[in-house]
Amino acid sequence: MKITDRLSGDHKSFQKIIQQLESAIDAPPQARDPKQVIRLVELLKRHVALHAWFEDAYYYPAVRKEIARARHPEMTVEDMEALEKEHQAVDEQLDRLEKEANLRPLLGTWPLAFRSFCRYLSAHMRKEEEVLFPLSEKLMGAERLKTLAREVDAHRVQSPRSI
Q: Phi, psi at residue 66, to the nearest 5°? A: -70, -40
For the chain, domains (ranges, CATH) are: 3-157 (1.20.120.520)
Q: What is the pTM of this model?
A: 0.89
Q: Measured between alpha carbons, how far apart are the two ends of the chain, in Å?
A: 20
pLDDT tens sequence across 112-142: 999 999 999 999 999 999 999 999 999 999 9
pLDDT tens sequence across 17-34: 999 999 998 888 778 788
Report helix angle 110-127 to 77-101, nearest 10.
Answer: 160
Say if residue 105 is preceded by a cis peptide, omega within 30 of 0.
yes
